[in-house]
Amino acid sequence: MTSSHPSPHRPAAHQPPSTPSTEAPAPSLRAAAGTGYFPIAFIARFPFAMMVVGTLTLVVSARESIALGGLNSAVLGLGSALVGPLLGAAADRIGQRPVILASGILNSLALLALAWVAFSPLPDLAVLAVGFVIGATSPQIGPFSRSRLVHLILTRLPAPRRAHSLNATMGYESAADETAFVFGPVVVGLLATTMTPAAPMIGAAVLTLVFVTAFALHPTARASAPTSEEPVRQAPARELRSLRVLVVVAGALGVGLFFGTVLTSLTSFLADTGHGDSAGLVYGVMGVGSTILALSIGLFPQRFTLAARWLVFSSLMLAAMIGFGFAGGLTGVVWAMAIAGIGIGPTIVTLYSLAAERSPQGRSATVMTMLGSATIVGQSAASALTGAVAERAGSQVAMWLPVGAAALVLLAAVVNALGRQRALRRAAQDVERDARRLRELPTEHL
């Protein structure tokens, strides 16, 4: 299991067979994607980041049941986890544009439907059913954006620049996701408190219709789509179940659990201490450090391998959450959030860099959506579990749940590192065996 970046002189695992590009090489990724691409792709992520907290806020307000709200968030995550990778597989097969347009329209309708169903006399089962549809149809903007940009890097940029550009791009994409996941709940809170509990869902539906549609129609969707002249060549689906892919998905699941446990336990703690209104600001402290470190990932030396980065920064996450559990006041919590931000940003970048490197041929969007779905289902399940624990056992007990989430991320990092070492030893043994066979050959065969 290797963890180095793809060499600029050989294609990555998911790259299609090399065919001469009919377009001149672009001087930069920004030029290849177009100036308008990045703001569109960034804003289009917010509906996805708003859904879990937005549905929780709406259902709790409308049905006056925290248990139902947490269950609905978990069902939403389940829908995303089950259907998200299928959307990625469909995009790999027929292109992103039709998949995103269809999912975006259905998702907008489902969001508006929940805003009505939650306050209707319909039974709770109807609320859960709509929540599942919201998760199942959620447009996978982050994973699809990564897949598009990786395609542009491998086909439009000069070979010597590809490795560095891939590293920097994964850093930017992770920073964009982190910003959306941190400030999406803040937007939900602002809309819910200044307008109505249904406002976040209506706002998410409008953002989806406008910006997700713009993302689908952007020319980069056509550039990365299969064509009749170049038929789709895909690795067998069984390669998606390999350890080298699943260990990265496990890390993404841990990241989702981390987000869900931290946000929910932090909100509960601050409410107990009389600082409930500052939950968004304190949570944002983690986002600041995470964004800065994620954007700086391109400055890391190449000898600081992806496997080593995952180990180092997930260990920092775990240490920060142990401090979070012991924190008895606002100052300690803020420090824990600041240190956690330094760990979580590079960890997310590393996971998606490994995903880009290890995606089987023709299945880049599938792997990216597997990570995105793992993150959202982790966040959804953790929000429900942590809310229940905080309600029954208190916020101090709930504040130890992020330790378990961070430990899962670190455990996946250890498994990844051990697999890498085993692969390196196997490669060294193969080289030694081939050299021994050459030495044993009779002279006339040399």
Domains within the chain, CATH numbers bracketed: 38-228+237-445 (1.20.1250.20)
Cα 221 versus chain centre, distance: 20
Tell me the C-alpha distance between 357 and 47, whole Å. 28
- For 75-125, the pLDDT digits (tens) are 887 888 788 888 888 888 888 889 999 999 999 999 999 989 989 889 989
- Asked whether 285 and 338 are in contact (CB, 8 A), the reply is yes
Q: Using the predicted structure, report yes or no on whether residue 384 has a pLDDT greater than 80.
A: no
Q: Which of left, alpha, beta for 394 (phi over 0: left; psi -120 to 50: alpha)?
A: left
Higher pLDDT, 180 or 360: 180
Tell me the C-alpha distance between 107 and 116, whole Å. 14
Dihedral sign, Cα of residue 332, residue 334, residue 339, residue 343: positive
Instruction: Indicate the burial class of 415 (C-beta count within 10 angstroms; 0-12, 13-18, 19 or more).
Output: middle
- Asked whether 176 and 142 are in contact (CB, 8 A), the reply is yes
Tell me the C-alpha distance between 358 and 38, whole Å. 25
**pTM to 2 decimals?**
0.70
144 Cβ contact partners less than 8 Å away, ≥ 6 residues apart? 88, 91, 96, 100, 215, 365, 368, 369
User: CB-side exposure of 412: number of CA atoms within 13 Å?
Assistant: 29
pLDDT at 335: 92
Q: What is the mean pLDDT of residues 355-362?
A: 73
- Asked whether 82 and 351 are in contact (CB, 8 A), the reply is no
97 Cβ contact partners less than 8 Å away, ≥ 6 residues apart? 216, 217, 221, 222, 225
The three-class DSSP label of residue 139 is: coil
The rounded percent of the chain whose pLDDT value lies above 70 is: 80
- Asked whether 89 and 363 are in contact (CB, 8 A), the reply is yes
